[in-house]
């Protein structure tokens, strides 16, 4: 889904629609945290999902890891 440019902020491309409700501002100073600790301190945004049905077809981390492995084979 395409986000909209609001107050000079960049667009956000995401698989679900919703509203950004929180931003992890410390990442501005330590962006390497995204790669070092993506599931704890490296989160970027929290999104309030507009339509919960959009989440139903998404993979979790385990499912995505399996998908990547299967693609390599």
Residue by residue, what is the 3-state secondary structure of 8-37? CCCCCECCCCEEEEEECHHHHCCCCHHHHC
CB atoms within 10 A of CB 70: 8
Write the CA distances from 18 to 13, 50, 57, 59, 65, integer angstroms.
Answer: 11, 4, 16, 18, 25
- Tell me what pLDDT residue 26 has: 93
- Tell me what pLDDT residue 10 has: 66
Place of tokens 């491309």: 13
Place of tokens 């077809």: 57
**What average pLDDT values come out for the chain (73 residues) when binned by 10 residues?**
54 85 92 93 93 92 94 91
The token duo for 15 is 């698989």
């Amino acid at each position: 889904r395409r986000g909209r440019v609001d107050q000079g902020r960049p667009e956000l491309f995401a698989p679900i629609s919703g509203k950004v409700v929180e931003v992890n501002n410390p990442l501005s100073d330590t962006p390497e945290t995204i790669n070092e600790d993506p599931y704890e301190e490296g989160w970027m945004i929290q999104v309030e999902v507009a339509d919960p049905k959009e989440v139903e077809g998404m993979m979790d981390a385990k499912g995505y890891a399996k998908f990547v492995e299967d693609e390599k084979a």
